[in-house]
Amino acid sequence: MQRRTFLRATAAGAALTVVPTGGLPTASATAAPATVGSLDELRAAIDRARPGDRIVVADGRYTVPSDRPLTIRNKRGTEHAPITIAARSRGGVVLDGERSFVLDASSHITVSGFSFRQSSTLDIPPNCSHIRLTRNDFQLADIEGLHWVMVRADDSKVDHNHFHGKSTLGIYLGIEGAGTDEMAQRVHVFRNYFSDHTFTGSNGGEPIRLGVSPRALSSAHAVVEYNLFERANGDPEAISVKSSDNVIRHNTIRDSLGGIVLRHGNRNRVEANHLVAGTEGVRIYGNDHVIVNNHLAGLSGRALVIGSGSERDHLPGETPEARRGNDAPDRVLIAYNTLVNNKGTLSGESRRPHEPRDVTVADNLLVGDSGELVAMANTVRFTWSGNILWGAAADGNIPAGGYTRVDPKLVTGPDGVARLAAGSPAIGAGTLGRSPVTHDIDGDPRGRYRDVGADEYAERAPRHRPLTPADVGPHAR
């Protein structure tokens, strides 16, 4: 027995519960609900599991032997009848040891409610698919270089989890794929709470790393949304994107060193994120990105950086050394963003040889009281239009005709968001003929005559606000 105390079944001496949620009735479907109370019982339940089964583990602390992990092999649920392995209460089952669950050639598996305390990476391998990690607490051993969760399986979901308490090199959540240059497809990361990473190095402590440099040109089609980051200080990149064709939206990064960085890859969309009272904002490399509807306020570093490149473009077949370099931003759209009271507002870089080209900066609201609102380095064929600048800060080197200096009449609400007041000159002043947005950061419709900045003036209460811990993690709705 790997555990001293456990709940025993009360129905006909049953030792475990496998409760179908769909499909034809089985013997276990008619038995009174019970709970597996040891690791051996859990292994047996996993081996017997069929589509629609739900295995419930009794609360307690379990040490998983290094040579006998909880293996889920050749188990396949279905879209409407997944196989679920759940703690009896959220966080009530603590898994110690080197490893916990090991997945292999399985699909439509849900793991829910566990407190993971293991000392090696929880790996979701590429020969699996449709794996869901939900409502778990991750605080793995604080080992130098240990990545906590690595997702390499298509169509996986990571949601309503809490990742917290790391002080050493290593990431909370990585998304990669098979081989050396592929990406898992359609991974969905949502409603997670990433907090308290205190690694003091300059690189390697990201809460989310979406790809790595060899995978930069691979399309992942991942969606990272409605996640909260607080005290995410392990790396300047809280969300580090190193792949292509992803969506990063409605996340809140608060009181953190890290920001959102499009470090490698192309055609990513960064939309409706709140970055407040931290250090880094949004930094851009690569081509054909869309950066819209973001609210960046009170940052002690650079709010929005249009980077420079050590390479003009990353190309298939380039050397690993070249792939690690920065790709100059080309054909990027930056529109409808609000940047308020940051140390650096909109800036460029000059330490690399390749300048950004063909970038459109339109209908953004830039407000500050110190420094310069725009401090770009070399640029080629930039289009500036409809931006509003205000505050005691100097305009900087934004071209004449690309902006208006006028008081936008912002009112900061109890949620800390600066929104337009009635009568603001930003209302209806948008200039983009073909808008890439239909709604603003609050969820209000943009309409035909769009406002400048992230907020479209409305009298109704916002549908979306900056996230709080109550909105995310294992116990959120």
DSSP class of 328: P
Has residue 129 got a pLDDT over 50?
yes
Taking residues 338-345, report their average pLDDT: 98
Give me the percent of the chain exceeding a pLDDT of 90.
89
Q: Can you tell me the distance from the alpha carbon of 393 to that of 161, in angstroms, rounded to the nearest whole number?
A: 41
429 phi-psi bin (left φ>0, alpha ψ -120 to 50, beta other): alpha
418 phi, psi to nearest 5 deg: -85, 115
Q: Which of 264, 385, 283 has its CA nearest to residue 327?
A: 264
Q: Which of 136, 235, 121 has its CA nearest to residue 473?
A: 136
Q: Can you tell me the distance from the alpha carbon of 438 to that of 130, in angstroms, rounded to the nearest whole number?
A: 30
pLDDT-derived band at 35, boundaries 50, 70, 90:
confident
Q: Can you tell me the distance from the alpha carbon of 128 to that of 292, in angstroms, rounded to the nearest whole number?
A: 34
pLDDT number for residue 305? 98
Average model confidence (pLDDT) for the chain? 93
pLDDT number for residue 310? 94
DSSP class of 376: -
CB 81 within 8 A of CB 103: no
Has residue 430 got a pLDDT over 50?
yes
Write down the pTM of the prediction: 0.93
Has residue 61 got a pLDDT over 80?
yes
